[in-house]
Amino acid sequence: MIERVIIRNIGGIHEAELSFTPGLNVITGESGAGKSSVVRSLELLTGSRGGVKYIRAGESSGNVEAYFDGMTITRGILSTGRSRAKIDGENVGLSECAERVNGLVRIQSQFAQMELLEPSRQLAMIDACLPSETRTSSIPSFREIFDKASASTRELRAVKKRRAEIERKYANAREIFSLMKTARPEPGLEVRLEKELSDITHRISVRTRARESLDTLTGGLSENGLIGNAESCFESLYDFMGNDESDDVRRAVDVMYSAVKTAAGNLGSEEDDISLHDETEARLGALRRLKRLCEIQNEGDLASYCDEIYASLEWLEKSYTELEELSARSLEEKRRANALAMEIRRARHEAGEILAGRVNAVLSELAMSGITFSINFTGLQKLRRDGADDAEFILTDGSRSGRVEKIASGGELSRLLLALQLSLPDEWLPPTIIFDEVEAGLGGRAAVLSGLQLKKLSRKCQVILVTHEASIAALGDSHILIQRIDGESAMRNITGEERVREIARMLSGSPDMSEAQEHARILLEGKSGLTGQ
């Protein structure tokens, strides 16, 4: 519980110290005295990111220091917007500070009432009423298997997605492998093949022209060529030549014929060049097709890409077994999670009936006997980590029936939340609960009855209550008065006649009215009898 709080430069408070006791601690004071600043200070301890708006005007920083059983927690805020927190003098993160404090303190204001009735909080309250075996075994087991099933589902989805991507990306893998075998890519290959193909084409063209010229000279296989015709012409001229001249001509013709035969022999076969041309052209075509299919223009990267295809297809082949194992595991985990969820559902329905019965019993003591509290469960189509159900708190009042946050008035909601606090197991309650004017909207007998229930709650945990209701303030085990003196918020614990005067002020607006003082004494003197009812 909270033993002491020191506040510096928060809201309208320059510096103040509050001491709290076990039981019911009430904080009272006129409007504007600084009660809200106390609540804002306590909210800062629970992790509120109030920032500079909480700092007292004209100051550069604000600070709240709270002393719990054996622990000191400090929260400071600076005008620069920065914040700091300490536990037992050591700096800690704001989230760690909030986590520690929220395990010790719960602040319930009119705003916080709606938060307390969120679906997740409602389900948590029902779970607090579950049998110990369900809370400590079934729910943790369900969450463990649910997490495993979720992980298996994500893994299964990832495997299926990767398989689909590989199958789509490498749908033409067979053609790619065939082209890789033909192209045999290497850096600079396309340029080199283009030059080689050009050279081969030029050689074939030159040889073709030379072959045609040689056929013209020799006549080929069936006709006399130019050489044969020249020999016939010279034969006709030899008779008109001298022996020496004719011998010279014959030798010249023989030399020319021999040279032509030598040239014909040097031409060689065209088949080798044609074969090389076809092979080079096929390799170049395969390379270009491969680049288009793979969308890769760099020949050096094609080999790496092919290695990637090999590795991916190898994984694809192996993943069949993994896919089957994951599917079977996921199915089994979902089956087990569903079975546990159904077990928890049955227990929750029973716990909901028990909780509703307890709440209705308390509501009847809070002048709400005409209103019935119940819990509706809705089965989910898909399991969540908190089970297979949503829970809704329902109020029924004659013809009215609906979710509590939509149908209840402010006073009804305040009393319902108080009834829930009293109906839940003690372990649900934190060591300290802070109420900020939760009696708003109440008056007369309803306020008195609510005060008695707050008193009853204070036997289970420390209760700190900011209130404007005199009949409730009179029930306090400790009474802190906040006053505005010379522009400053001052606060102190009051007893005896000081307390009589404050209760009188709350009753009549004046601490000096004798009738109000008498009424205040009756309230204070009669509280022990009232709380014993």
Q: What is the DSSP track for 313-338?
A: HHHHHHHHHHHHHHHHHHHHHHHHHH
Show the tokens assigned to 300. Answer: 């050096």
How confident is the model at residue 346, as a pLDDT? Answer: 95
Please count the residues of the chain. Answer: 533
Q: What are the b/e assignments for 366-381, b being 16+ CB within 10 Å?
A: bbbeebbbbbeeeeee
Distance CA 269, CA 266 (A): 9
Helices (H), 172-242: 173-183, 189-218, 226-238
Q: Which SS3 state, helix, strand or coil, does residue 184 take? A: coil
pTM of the model: 0.66
Burial of 298 (0-12, 13-18, 19+ CB in 10 A): exposed
Distance CA 123, CA 392 (A): 8
Strand partners, 253: none
Give whole-number Cα distances, 404 to 8, 128, 131, 362, 481, in Å: 39, 20, 26, 16, 34
How confident is the model at residue 140, as a pLDDT? Answer: 94
Report whether 148 contacts 253 (CB < 8 A): no
Q: Which SS3 state, helix, strand or coil, does residue 296 take? A: coil
How confident is the model at residue 532, as a pLDDT? Answer: 43
Strands 462-466 and 24-28, how do they pair? Answer: parallel
What string of pLDDT tens digits covers the 533 residues of the chain? 999 999 999 888 889 999 999 999 999 998 888 888 888 888 888 877 766 788 888 888 999 999 998 899 999 888 888 888 899 989 988 888 888 888 888 887 655 556 566 788 889 899 999 999 999 999 999 999 999 999 999 999 999 998 888 888 777 777 877 887 888 888 888 889 989 999 888 888 877 887 777 777 777 666 677 777 777 777 777 777 777 777 787 788 778 778 777 776 666 667 777 888 889 999 899 888 888 888 788 887 887 887 888 788 888 888 888 899 999 999 999 999 999 999 999 999 999 999 999 999 988 888 777 889 999 999 988 999 999 999 999 999 877 888 887 887 776 777 788 888 889 998 888 899 988 876 665 667 777 888 888 899 999 999 999 988 898 999 999 999 999 888 888 899 999 999 999 999 999 989 999 999 999 999 998 754 444 44
* Residues 64/431/496/489 CA torsion (nearest 10 deg): 20
Show the tokens assigned to 382. Answer: 């898909």
**In 467-530, which ranges are E strands?**
478-485, 488-493
Show the tokens assigned to 4. Answer: 């002491």
Distance CA 56, CA 100 (A): 26
Helices (H), 387-494: 404-407, 410-423, 444-457, 470-473
How confident is the model at residue 166, as a pLDDT? Answer: 82
Residue boundaries of the structural domains of the chain: 188-297
